[in-house]
Amino acid sequence: MLNCSPFESGYCEFQQILDDSAIDQILFRLAESAMRKAGHRYGAFLDAATTAAKLAIYMTYLEENQNLRKTGRLHHLEPKRVKEIVHEIQGALLRGKLLKVLGSQEPRYLIGLPYLWQQQHPWRPGQPRLINKALTPSEINLVEEKLPPDVPDAQVINSFQFIELLELLHEKSQSSLPVDRRTPLSEAFRDHIEMRLLHSKTVIQIEAFGELPFYGLARMTYSPTGQQERTYTVIEDVAEFFTLRQAWVDERPDVLRAVETLDIAVEDREQALQELSSLLQDWADKYHREGGEPMVLQMAVGKRLAD
Amino acid sequence: MLNCSPFESGYCEFQQILDDSAIDQILFRLAESAMRKAGHRYGAFLDAATTAAKLAIYMTYLEENQNLRKTGRLHHLEPKRVKEIVHEIQGALLRGKLLKVLGSQEPRYLIGLPYLWQQQHPWRPGQPRLINKALTPSEINLVEEKLPPDVPDAQVINSFQFIELLELLHEKSQSSLPVDRRTPLSEAFRDHIEMRLLHSKTVIQIEAFGELPFYGLARMTYSPTGQQERTYTVIEDVAEFFTLRQAWVDERPDVLRAVETLDIAVEDREQALQELSSLLQDWADKYHREGGEPMVLQMAVGKRLAD
DNA sequence: GCGTGGCATTAAGCCCCTCAA
DNA sequence: TTGAGGGGCTTAATGCCACGC
């Protein structure tokens, strides 16, 4: 099921562990997307999973006529905990309190940084990128030369300004939280955010001359490592595919499930995939009618790895 | 994205919460499948999610040249914890220790029950289903009449025997665990298993005459509520779809992603779906060649709920 | 960079008791 | 009798920090 090219050594060995359980596999892929690609915190992912489980419990609670004990027994937790969970969910549903979910593909405190930077430290062509009275013009030149080409219009700032920026960002991202859940920006958290920004090459660090380094904004998007634009559509496609399959479980008449397994000669492959692609388009063109019911088709074809 | 028929009231309101985050939605659907349908414990689902996150961390650790601190900062956890996690994973990879995963679609302690029951309390046609010297023949008849038709060949047993059965089952299911992680069957856990078995109608309870109830085996499969045979293929389809999409991210030449959105007139729908279905089959037949590369096609079509 | 120590808090588990409908 | 609600308990893990190498 999992692919094992030499560049993905991790997957190979995990294969043994995740083995036959599809749910474990999906969870692993989700963790990868959320944490490794999008940069969500470890704890945030755990919280999101817990929240999902709590919602499931809440559904059972409703189905079982709001019987705390029975719900608890069905899912093996204390009725006391069930009650807390029910309160938590209802608080979210009725009073708009927030549950601990990931909320968006990328953490807000990461997405927002480039804009805040530009706002706080704008730069116009012709001006010096770095304003620092302790440095000679030639030193400033050295710093500016280390910037890659085509960086956004923003000044190069020093470490203190950078930390200030992160703190401001943290405040903003917390403004949507209820007061009791807000926390000051801890050192560990700050280090984490900085590491994420550097790792994703949104921000670059420029060594200063024996002092704390400078920071430059390298691009406007916080993007995960790898082909970010595709990475995100994957999750959305999977979510939609999941939804469609669930509808199929209910045997809705308007849902089609199709799974084909076949062997294709390597030399035919390209042609086969192209033909399939145009078959689908022709089909869609043929049946499309303005004002009809909106439909979606999700398809994936590729190498079959397990039977 | 989520469907909101009156029979799925839960989904409607959760929609507001899970809103725009595809990962949160997938997590919720997974929790539903694992806990509500398959009957996995709440804690087991949380453990599985944690394990998935740990695997992701371990991959980062390998990628970052086994740098504990950097890995910790990238995912916002203590290097101390990273180290523990690395040891845990390596213990699983190298020494075959077990990670806390769901492992199979249904919990083993539930699947195994019918077979153990038949083995411990076999029954042959013609014999009485219930052997109990304290009851009169007419009382025994009353009990047997409460059994639904077509139950498996197994005796009706009393509460003590039932508990014994669960304990035996628990021992067996723990035999694969390392000694230090084994736990005695707690009362709460036993209640949970019993509730699951009754809820899924694998086992039925028959009230006794003022005493502890009897138990009857109602069918051989522990199956979740609803259309179980479809419910499970959903998860497997989604896992495979996910895998294919991930391959697509890497821009492999042998992977095709197709997404079509269109509007279909309701009266055309059935024909459109049928035509699509046969288009795919014809395509598969045309290109199938023995000995070629094994390929798989996963497709879902249905109502589009969000744009 | 790594390794060590400490700290508070939360929550998953276990169990027992009493009270009311 | 069963559910609700209260109590008290252990263990683990998420977080925070600081110190020394």
Cβ-based contacts (< 7 Å) between A 213-242 and strand D: none
End-to-end CA separation in angstroms for chain A: 8
- Give me chain A's average pLDDT, please: 88
Q: In angstroms, what separates the C-alpha of B198 from chain A's closest C-alpha?
A: 10
Whole-number pLDDT of residue A116? 94
Whole-number pLDDT of residue B265? 94
**A10: pLDDT confidence band, cut at 50, 70 and 90?**
low
CA gap A185, A271 in Å, rounded: 55
Angle at A210 between CA A207 and CA A211, to 5 degrees: 75
Six token digits for residue A258: 């199709």
Q: In angstroms, what separates the C-alpha of B49 from chain A's closest C-alpha?
A: 6
Cβ distance A261 to B76 less than 8 Å, yes or no, reads no
Q: Is a pLDDT exceeding 90 seen at residue B78? A: yes
pTM for the predicted model, two decimal places: 0.92
Six token digits for residue B285: 């037949």
Cβ of A253 under 8 Å from any chain B Cβ? yes
Six token digits for residue B80: 């101390």
Six token digits for residue B307: 């744009």
Q: Is a pLDDT exceeding 80 seen at residue B173? A: yes
In Å, what is the separation between the CA of B104 and the C1' of C17?
39
Quote the percentage of chain B above a pLDDT of 90. Answer: 61
For residue B75, give the nearest of A23, A35, A297 by CB distance.
Answer: A35
Q: Which residue has the tokens 């009169």?
A: B136
**B10: pLDDT confidence band, cut at 50, 70 and 90?**
low
Q: Is a pLDDT exceeding 80 seen at residue B178? A: no
Report the protein residue whose CA lies nearest the C1' of nucleotide C13: A77
Q: Is a pLDDT exceeding 80 seen at residue A148? A: yes
**A7: pLDDT confidence band, cut at 50, 70 and 90?**
very low
Q: What average pLDDT score do residues B191-202 get? A: 92
In Å, what is the separation between the CA of A265 and the C1' of C8?
63
Q: Which of A132-136, A243-247, B161-165 has the lowest mean pLDDT?
A: A132-136
**B256: pLDDT confidence band, cut at 50, 70 and 90?**
very high
Whole-number pLDDT of residue A106? 86
Six token digits for residue A273: 């995939």
**B289: pLDDT confidence band, cut at 50, 70 and 90?**
very high
Whole-number pLDDT of residue A12? 61
Name the residue with higher pLDDT: B263 or A96: B263
Report the protein residue whose CA lies nearest the C1' of nucleotide C3: B80
Q: Please report which helix (H) or strand (E) contains residue B211, including its range.
A: none
Kindly compute the dihedral angle of the four CA atoms of residues B34, B36, B40, B45, in this order, to the nearest 10 degrees: 60
Cβ distance A74 to B13 less than 8 Å, yes or no, reads no
**A306: pLDDT confidence band, cut at 50, 70 and 90?**
low
Residue B65: nearest nucleotide (C-alpha to C1') = C1
- Kindly report, residue by residue over A49-58, the tens digit of the pLDDT: 999 999 999 9
CA gap B292, A264 in Å, rounded: 5
- Kindly report, residue by residue over A222-264, the tens digit of the pLDDT: 775 556 778 889 999 999 999 999 999 988 888 999 999 999 9
Listed residue (A237, A261, A195, A217) closest to A35, CA to CA: A195
